Structure 1
Amino acid sequence: MSRLLKPGMAICCIYVVAAWILLQMGMALSHHISDVELKPDMGLVIQDMLFDLIVGHSFFETVFIVLIGLTCVRMIIYIGRHLYASHKWKAFVKVQIHPRLTIKWTRKYKKWHTPIDVIREQQPLALAIGMLRPRIVISTGLLDMLSVEEVHAVLLHERYHCTQRHPLKKWFAAMIITSMPYMSVLKGLGHYYDIWIELLADRYAITHTNSTYTISTALLKLVQTQRFATPYQGVSFSDTAINYRLSQLIHPEQSINVPMVSLRSICTSGTVLIVISMIIFFQCL
């Protein structure tokens, strides 16, 4: 199996499982709504739907409808928190942006067609951010701490995240995992995906610098500093898979064995899928 396909397989599994569950939930809601006579008064319609939910369905069907409601609520809360964090982050960057250095570094790497924002912050920060228009954010603390070669390696790492749309993919995966905690296998797949995209981003930097030294020294310097807490979800340089990344950098010729999911999570998640399928099957009879 090609290593390049591993994170893609993991994220596809998350999306496929989520799509299947949402499809089943849509079928259940459609069946539930069809049992209720539509009236001009929406209050009466909602009242009839609640009565039908309690009286007109089996215990398992009622539990499934409640599960649908909880999933939707958790999804709405996640999206709301993201919008709030996005607003806070934009306000923070607007105040802390360093115009001269931002122009300087964006021009230096203009062939990448990836904007590079430099913010005034003493703590070192390197982040790939933005779902529709990915960009790289670095801090003045990072520029002060690292050499020019190390900064170049870090930017290569973050550029890989931008070109692969990892901020967008991670956001969708995190929303699914947060909304469906009853599917424990999704959490394992998400963790596996997070590790592999960091390993591949490091390999991208190694390939373009022809050395493991600069990316290694940059990573070691950053993991020894205090972590910068950003309110916005992005793909940070030194937050994930440190042990796996150091192992790869020390022994680049050796294969990295990253556990995907546990047998227990597969069994419990498989049981949930079977139960949902049975509920939908008997509901449609």
Structure 2
Amino acid sequence: MRADRPLWILVAVAAATYPALGLAWCVAALFVFHFGQRALGVEEHLGQIAGALLVLMGLLAVGNAVRTVVRGVRQTRRFHTWVVSRRVPIPSSVAVVVNEFGSRAPVTVVDVEQQVAVTVGLLRPSVVISTGLAEILSPAELRAVVAHEQAHAKRRDPLRVLLGQMLAAHLWFLPAAEDMRTRARRSYELAADRDATNRYGQRALAGALLRVLPAAITPGSVAPFADSDLLDARVAQLESGEPPRPHPVSPLRSALTATGACAFLTAVTGAWMFMLIACPCLMT
């Protein structure tokens, strides 16, 4: 699906780096056993420098990815605790809408004045709606909002978002990876909007968007309405019926990405040369 294209690009690029990370661990082991055994030549010194750079890049890549996943899981748990502490019985007006979706993701209503509509949960996503939001929406608008969030839950978009964050953190030396992560998040919102409009029409979703601006940011959640670029894209899709083209990567970020890619490839080449010099058996 086209909504997943930015994420698959991140997956492909990250997967291409894993053999190099394996090489980094081999180089690190050679540093331990090879250092001080004999005098090193210039080529070996250069190879060691390249190997050290590759090891550093690998450590940062893995560390950033692990930290991102841990932070995402903790945020999900904190938000779940927040929801449980404010959960109330589903009002009849919301229950009528929820029943239309049958056995899809469960819907929880929280008693807060803020306008909240969010899908949470990595493996078993659920929809959270606030009483403050339900009170200001018409039945048609509420149906469109629930349909939008149910589309996120059906696709497990919270898990996809966390995966995109992890991959972008893993590819920290390629700034364009962060742009791909943003595009992925944007594509999920636009895809959910298409699901909602296909079911309840453009007017219902457009009315809901107008009523909930600006949405409040709740603990542990992300309010997509607070992103002006994303809002513009969603309005443009409602007007034209087609998702707008994403903004191109800026020249500066493109240059930085090219520099990071060159540094990574140079480190890989130098580390491999050091491996061949330090372990002649690899050449046979």
1:72 to 62, 72, 76: 62
Which of 163, 170, 175 is the equivalent residue of 2:166? 175
* Greater alpha carbon shift after TM alignment, 80-89 vs 99-108: 99-108
Deviations 1:38-92 (A, max 9, x none): xxxxxxxxx99xxxxxx89621211221222222332333233233323322221
Contact 2:48 2:274 in 1 (8 A): no
Q: 1:242 aligns with which of 227, 231, 239?
A: 231
Q: Supply the distance in 2 between the matched residues of 1:31 and 1:25 (Cα, whole angstroms).
A: 10
**CA distance in 2: counterparts of 1:23 and 1:105, whole angstroms:** 53
Matches within 5 A, 1:215-230: 215-223=205-213, 225-230=214-219
CA distance in 2, matches of 1:120, 1:148: 19
RMSD of aligned Cα (Å): 2.8
**Secondary structure in 2 matching 1:159:** helix
Q: Does 1:97 align with 2:87?
A: yes
Q: Any idea what SS the aligned residue of 1:118 has?
A: strand
| Matches of 1:21 and 1:176, distance apart in 2 | 11
One-letter identity of the residue aligned with 2:205: I
For structure 1, the 5+ residue unaligned runs are 38-46, 49-54
> 8 Å contact 1:89–1:231 — kept in the other structure?
yes
- Counterparts in 2 of 1:204 and 1:27: CA distance versus 1, 3 Å: same
Aligned-pair identity (%): 21
Q: Which amino acid aligns with 1:244?
A: A
Q: TM-score, normalised by structure 2?
A: 0.80
Q: Superposed, which structure 2 residues align to 1:131-280 within 5 Å?
A: 131-209=122-200, 211-223=201-213, 225-232=214-221, 236=223, 238-240=225-227, 241-252=230-241, 256-262=244-250, 264-265=253-254, 267-280=258-271
SS of aligned partner of 1:259 = coil
- Aligned residue among 24, 47, 54 for 2:20: 24
Please state whether the residue corresponding to 1:122 is helix, strand or coil.
coil
Q: Does 1:15 align with 2:11?
A: yes
**Alignment-mate amino acid for residue 211 of structure 2:** K
Q: Give the unaligned 5+ runs of structure 2.
A: 37-44, 277-284
DSSP 3-state at the match of 1:111: coil
1:52 — aligned with what? none
Work out which structure has the larger RCO, using CA pairs closer than 8 Å and 6 or more positions apart in sequence.
Answer: 2
Residues 229-249 of structure 1: CA deviation (Å, up to 9, x unaligned): 3314x6x55344100111121
Map Cα deviations across residues 166-217 of structure 1 (whole Å, 9 max, x no partner).
Answer: 11111011122134321112111111112222122111111111x2101001
Instruction: Please give the TM-score of this superposition, normalised by the length of structure 1.
Output: 0.80
